[in-house]
Amino acid sequence: MKAEIMGIGTELLMGELTDTNSSWIASRLPALGIELQWVSIIGDDLPRLTEAFKRGMERSDIIFSTGGLGPTQDDLTREAVAAAFGETPTIQQEVVDNLERYFAARGTPMPQHNIKQANLIPSARFVPNRNGTAPGWWAERDGKIVICLPGPPGENQSMWEEQVEPQLAELVNDEVTITRNIKTMGLSEGAVDEIISEFFGVDNPYLGIYSKADGIHLRVIARARDSQSAQKMIMPVEQAIHDRLGEYIWGYDDETPEQAAGKSLLEKGLSVAVMEMCTGGALTNSITDGPDSMSYFKGGNVAYDAAALEACGVPAEVMEKHGVVSQQTANAMADTVRRNLNADLGVAVTGVPGPGEFEGKPLGLAYISVTNGEKTREMEMRLPPRRVTIKRRVPNQALIELRRLVEETG
Amino acid sequence: MKAEIMGIGTELLMGELTDTNSSWIASRLPALGIELQWVSIIGDDLPRLTEAFKRGMERSDIIFSTGGLGPTQDDLTREAVAAAFGETPTIQQEVVDNLERYFAARGTPMPQHNIKQANLIPSARFVPNRNGTAPGWWAERDGKIVICLPGPPGENQSMWEEQVEPQLAELVNDEVTITRNIKTMGLSEGAVDEIISEFFGVDNPYLGIYSKADGIHLRVIARARDSQSAQKMIMPVEQAIHDRLGEYIWGYDDETPEQAAGKSLLEKGLSVAVMEMCTGGALTNSITDGPDSMSYFKGGNVAYDAAALEACGVPAEVMEKHGVVSQQTANAMADTVRRNLNADLGVAVTGVPGPGEFEGKPLGLAYISVTNGEKTREMEMRLPPRRVTIKRRVPNQALIELRRLVEETG
């Protein structure tokens, strides 16, 4: 089954907004056995949108679109699908009633413009939207399927998971694709590539290599008649990666460093507290992204200078002797916050926050410390002198170190 | 001048990675007078990539590509451009030398695979990359331009700003496009649409409306022979938006809530300290995204329960009487952190952190407080019960409230 995805909205073509929907939908298709062939971005222009849907219905079996279902005059997806199908939309009273209830619950009357969201053509049915006013459309004719979802990810992702994906799974009966992501940190892309060189260039199982902010990822993709056979094809590649890169592997599949660390903390029943300097809250923010973080996160302090660190209990003499940006201060920070907040582990980062030098040390220098009171993991990092890189890569490395120490903690 | 953008990489088509490069480049084109007509995503497949470059050279004047310039066997952009041009790449020794120096400075030998990054065809020249090993290509023939940049934004954005954009600006001599973004918070998209209804549907100046995590944005786009004329076309629309929506406007153009707040703090020479509960570091992390944040950010505390808040100095009796999730506790938090860290202003958020209820209060309930010691701005928010929404929208609202209070502070 061949598919295409259209991201709709002039704001996407003007670069006002990044189309994250297409990649999100793309990531759901392999497991359904749906082959994605085209991704395109189209502006809010009725003739061009209509043309795109017509062409899509010629070359693809299924079209997914996101965006253009809002209440404003710019929102033209419904009109374009109607034109491509050659059908006339009519207002559905029950949807008007729903919209009026939605706005009444928020204490405001329904803006008249919203009524266009109640339009439907004979070949389509609504995909209800419990997080917004725009219902989706599922249209079918002559064996072709067009599924239109609203633009906000907070709306279309739950619609996809609860309504679209289950129905697609019933329709599709082709071969199964299974993927396995293996995430490493500590070697360069070129080095990883060389170590497992002979697995590249094979079509099935396919091995891909990707350089990310949290290290080098390896992705094994196998296609087969059933998942067991696909799994069997993946195994030898995964085994080789394990044997040769084991010490660098920190996670699998969709796992983020914060999820890997959180999972280990939960499994061991341990808690953590954070003190951070150069990362300005990014580390704490990552840790609390986990839905269960309330169970293991004890609290955090964010400081930018010696005075604020001292107010958090970091001994002034350590900072005076070694500098705020030093391994010794990182260790003192981790130890202090662990004891102050009564946590099993303390994790701390200190470094040059920018824009320029600090204590004569260059932007990009950072120290990580993780302690459980007995053992301490230390690390010095030297990164490109860009704030955004530092705020992304230092927390990732700190979380990977945290996970390693949790695994070593009784 | 008609342009197209190609995002290259199977990982983009598999949904492993979101293509943020295309929208970033797209956002730079209007001001250069370059009209973007196509955006597409293409996998790491030599025949399909070659075909895409050939088709691009037929239908567009200029092609931008990102990705596929790395050292691995998957990276095929150079090969595809060479095939589309019908030219043979050869190794450039000076680039090999540079690569060897790059790796030597990092204390490792150059992996052999990296040598392909030194390839060049006669119609192309290198675009140097000071943040990575992959130089870009600028290829020209028969009046068509192909510009290939590496995939990591941390590499291609500085290459664009320092090398590509200045050269493009010299080439392009068409009409000028000027855009003005006006950002509001506090009204729904439908309500804003109704209030300035008559400006929509006009081609030039064009008015677009976009619903974002930091409110409803309005974008006015005017095209004219020179920037002064374009500016003149934007003015009456901007004036009307001001007159009718003034109290809801919090920022302009690329400004984020943290930048708007940071700018106000810098202008007034004031400092801020943060205490946050349900947002788990997201507010502090936003504030410290600003490159000048060291000048106004005094520090922050992140807590998840009453004990941790008490350790930060929040009076237990306020939390016992009103609950941790209450306006009174938010006010006490803002006041406490302001005084503890010796800041001019304190900003605090408390709410239900999830996954479930807290103190019998629903997920999605949050309170904001901003104080300068004399005046205090308070706000209650009721959001959809999703952690990611709460961590994005509560900090945005808190920053907008912070900016408002800074503006009112002597």
**B125-154 tens-digit pLDDT:** 999 998 888 999 999 999 999 999 999 998
- Asked if B302 lies within 8 A of A281 by C-beta distance, the reply is yes
Using the beta-carbon criterion (under 8 Å), do A301 and B304 form an inter-chain contact? Answer: no
A48-62, A148-162, A238-252, A380-394: which has the minimum mean pLDDT?
A380-394
pLDDT for res A239: 96
Interface test with A, best of B11, B59, B256 (most A CBs within 10 A): B11
* CB-based contact B66:B137 (threshold 8 Å): no
- Domain(s) labelled CATH 3.90.950.20 in chain A stretch across 257-408
Every domain of chain A with CATH number 3.40.980.10 lies at: 2-171
Contact (CB, 8 A) for A135 and A155: no
Question: Which of A72, A287, A296 best probes binding to B when mutated, by most B CB atoms within 10 angstroms?
Answer: A72
**pLDDT of A321 above 80:** yes
Q: Among A4, A24, A41, A129, pick the best mutation site for testing chain B contact (most B Cβ within 10 A).
A: A41
Note whether A154 contacts B384, CB cutoff 8 Å: yes
Instruction: Tell which CATH architecture fits domain A176-252.
Output: 2-Layer Sandwich (3.30)
Q: If one looks up domain B258-408 in CATH, what number appears?
A: 3.90.950.20
* Contact check, Cβ <8 Å, A299/B303: yes
Query: With 90 as the cut, is the pLDDT of residue A299 above it?
Result: yes
Of the candidates A14, A15, A208, which has its C-beta nearest B74's C-beta? Answer: A208
Per-residue HEC secondary structure of chain B comes to CEEEEEEECHHHHCCCCCCCHHHHHHHHCHHHCCEEEEEEEECCCHHHHHHHHHHHHHHCCEEEEECCCCCCCCCCHHHHHHHHHCCCCEECHHHHHHHHHHHHHCCCCCCHHHHHHHEECCCEEEECCCCCCCCEEEEEECCEEEEEECCCHHHHHHHHHHHHHHHHHHHCCCCEEEEEEEEECCCCHHHHHHHCHHHCCCCCCEEEEEEECCEEEEEEEEEECCHHHHHHHHHHHHHHHHHHHHHHEEEECCCCHHHHHHHHHHHHCCCEEEEECCCCCHHHHHHCCCCCHHHCEEEEEECCCHHHHHHCCCCHHHHHHHCCCCHHHHHHHHHHHHHHCCCCEEEEEEECCCCCCECCECCCEEEEEEECCCCEEEEEEECCCCHHHHHHHHHHHHHHHHHHHHHHCC
User: Which tokens is B61 given?
Assistant: 């004047």
User: With 80 as the cut, is the pLDDT of residue A331 above it?
Assistant: yes
Whether the pTM exceeds 0.90: the reply is no
Q: What pLDDT score does A173 carry?
A: 62
pLDDT < 50: residue spans in chain B: none
- In chain B, CATH 3.30.70.2860 covers 176-252
**Which pLDDT value is given to residue A112?**
84
- Return the closest-CA partner of residue B46 out of B88, B74, B11, B70: B74
**Do A111 and B193 lie within an 8 Å CB cutoff?**
yes
| Distance (Å) from the alpha carbon of A305 to chain B's nearest alpha carbon | 8
- Inform me whether the pLDDT recorded for A119 exceeds 90: yes
The pLDDT value given to residue A10:
83
Sign of the dihedral through C-alpha B361, B364, B365, B370: positive
Q: Do A111 and B388 touch (CB under 8 A)?
A: no
User: Which pLDDT score is estimated for A333?
Assistant: 98
Helix or strand (DSSP H, E) at A181: strand A176-184
Q: H helices of A153-254, where?
A: 153-159, 165-171, 189-195, 227-245
pLDDT for the residue numbered A267: 96
pLDDT per residue as tens digits for the range B168-189? 988 876 677 788 999 999 888 8
Q: Decide: residue A212, CB within 10 A, 0-12 exposed, 13-18 middle, 19+ buried.
A: middle
pLDDT for res B173: 62
* CATH 3.90.950.20-classified regions of chain B: 258-408
Q: What is the pLDDT of residue B104?
A: 83
3 state SS of A228: helix
A353 contact residues in B (CB cutoff 8 A): 288, 294
Could you tell me the pLDDT band of residue A174, with boundaries at 50, 70 and 90? Answer: low
CATH, domain B2-171, list 1.20.140.10, 3.60.21.10, 3.20.20.80, 3.40.980.10: 3.40.980.10
Q: What's the complex ipTM?
A: 0.71
Residues 6+ apart with CB under 8 A from A174: A1, A33, A34
Measured in angstroms, the CA of A102 and the nearest CA of chain B are apart by 13
The counts of H helices and E strands in chain A are: 15, 17
Q: Does pLDDT of A101 surpass 90?
A: no
CATH class of A257-408: alpha beta
Q: What is the pLDDT of residue B99?
A: 86
Two structure tokens written together for B334: 């803002």
For the stretch B206-262, pLDDT in tens is: 888 888 888 999 989 888 888 889 999 999 999 999 999 998 999 998 899 999 999
**Inter-chain residue contact A73 with B17, CB threshold 8 Å:** no
Contact call for A280 and B292, based on CB within 8 A: no
Q: Which residues of B touch A364 (CB under 8 A)?
A: none
